[in-house]
Amino acid sequence: MIFLWIPLSAMANCTVSTDKSLNFGTMSAQEKGELSSIAYIRVACSDDTPIGRYKIALTRGKGRSFFPRFMKSDKSRVAYNLYIDPGRSIIWGNGRKGSVLQGVGPCTELAPCTHVIYGKANILSKQKIKSGEFQDRVRVVLYHD
The CA–CA distances, whole Å, from 45 to 78, 86, 100, 116, 137 equal 36, 26, 20, 19, 25
pLDDT of residue 128: 76
Checking if the pLDDT of 107 tops 90, the result is no
Residue of 40, 43, 39 lying closest to 16 (CA atoms): 43
pLDDT of residue 62: 86
Q: Which band of pLDDT confidence, cut at 50, 70 and 90, is reported for residue 12?
A: low
Checking if the pLDDT of 10 tops 60, the result is no
Q: Which band of pLDDT confidence, cut at 50, 70 and 90, is reported for residue 1?
A: low
pLDDT of residue 25: 81
As to burial, measured by CB atoms within 10 angstroms (0-12 exposed, 13-18 middle, 19+ buried), residue 86 is exposed
Q: Which band of pLDDT confidence, cut at 50, 70 and 90, is reported for residue 86?
A: very high
- In order of their start, the domains of the chain are 2-144 (2.60.40.1090)
